[in-house]
Amino acid sequence: MTRTELFKLRTHRTPWVLLGILASALAVAPVYYAFRPPADSSAVIETFVGVFTVMTPLLGAVFGGWIVGHEFRQGTLRRVLGNDARRGRLIATKASIGLGAMVAGMSAAAGVAALASVASASSFDQSLVWDGVFRDMLSGGFLAVVVAAIAFGLSILLRSDTYAMLGSLGLMIIVGPLLTLIPKVGKYVPSALADDVSLWISGSGEQLNVAIAPAALGLAASLAVLSAAAMAAFSQSDI
């Protein structure tokens, strides 16, 4: 089953297209600054981190919804379960392979972009200061994984990759921020909890006095509920 999932990742265009989009987006700023140097070389780092933290959650929603959702759309799950009817193992394999591929893809794209940023700064005789950048990248990557996990669960519940992508982004970008306006409720929605954990990872949470333990436990509980609901629906559904 693991080999099958790895083969799908290698042969399907979607993962490679998403990786190409991320790498291209990260490479735009270094190329631009190589021809039009900024007044301060810190702009190269700020743009690099900014593009990464914006693009990865968006692409994570697409990738998370695609892993299972595209098989519902194409009708290939029936054939897969015909070879091995253990549905729990199938979902666990897809989730673990998808997580590994996502982390590897983000790391590779960020590494190439970092080298491009160094080369860009060198072209106008400047050096880059990387203090805190690694934590900022971890923070953005964590948020992307959370969005992908929500899209993954929704794709099983809704049996659609498109609705899962829209649902995860809507929950994290629109519904979640609106619910934060409700006193004593908004701080417990997944988007707010994920933001708190992300801020703590980046180091900003220490200045804002973010309570990491309640945020991490609340986020883990929210994802566990979604996972349990998705597994229950998948186990009982007629594929």
Statement: residue 204 has pLDDT above 80: no
Give pLDDT, residue 81: 64
Which residue segment(s) compose the domain that 99 sits in? 2-236
Summary mean pLDDT of the chain: 87
Question: Mean pLDDT throughout 21-32?
Answer: 92
Give the per-residue pLDDT at 63: 96
Q: In which band, very low, low, confident or very high, does the pLDDT at 83 lie, cut at 50, 70 and 90?
A: low
The pLDDT of residue 26 is: 93
Least confident of 44-48, 56-60, 76-80, 129-133: 76-80
Taking every pair of C-alpha atoms in the chain, what is the biggest distance, in angstroms?
63
Q: Number of structural domains, the chain?
A: 1
- Stretch 71-89: mean pLDDT: 72
pTM of the model: 0.89
